[in-house]
Amino acid sequence: MRVSGVFRVLALIFATVTTWIIIRNHMGFSIKTIRLPRWLGSSTKETQVMKHKCGLIKPCSANYFAFKIGSGAANVVGPTMCFENHIIMSPVKNNVGRGLNIALVNDIKHLVKFLKEIPEGALVLVASYDDPGTKMNDEARKLFANLGSSYAKQLGFRDSWVFVGAKNLRDKSPFEQFLKNNPKTNKYEGWPELLEMEGCVPARLF
């Protein structure tokens, strides 16, 4: 009985080793047969999209400024402004607030405090946050309209608005987006969705 038991153990070990060798050889063969050619494997690499100033996919032409403006989302996420690859305003910089966030871009060193004092040739970048319209009076709306805005006169409570304009434009600015606060269409509870606008502003058009 003892001898037969030893033979059984040896037979089991032999069968196990044999099976392992067969599986190993088979797996090695299988791996070799499904290996792709190098030229085929290189096509699986992800294509990286080159981005330019302010994250634009396409670069701006000569005498054009790159910009990107995003309105605030509800009263949680603040607006952002990028001009010529410089982040002018953002929640990270902690320089945004409720209402209208305005940046004047030209050669002057100091920001102009009042809309009446905006000089000729200055680019005005505006992004709303939470409530841009409640405190707006008729005079302020008219001044924004003179900067090229088509929606300043109807800007209301918790509307979303992004705008790029300049003083004494001949026509309305093509760089403006507006979304009315509407409980039926709002993306957030009590607020419309975030607006984002980007593009290239002609340096001499304004």
pLDDT for 190 beyond 50:
yes
| Nearest-angstrom CA–CA distance, 150 and 148 | 7
Contact (CB, 8 A) for 82 and 68: yes
Residues in the chain: 206
Residue with tokens 């005079």: 139
* Closest by Cα among 158, 190, 196 to 177: 196
Torsion of CA 86, 72, 200, 107, to 10 degrees: -50
Is the pTM value of this prediction over 0.75? no
- In angstroms, what CA-CA distances link 98 with 44, 47, 157? 46, 40, 12
Whether residue 18 is predicted with pLDDT greater than 90 in this model: the reply is no
Ranges 6-15, 82-91, 110-119, 158-167: which has the least confidence: 6-15
> Tokens in use for 142?
């008219």
Read off the pLDDT of residues 23-78 as tens digits, 9 standing for 90 and up.
555 544 343 434 444 444 444 455 666 788 999 999 999 889 899 999 887 777 88
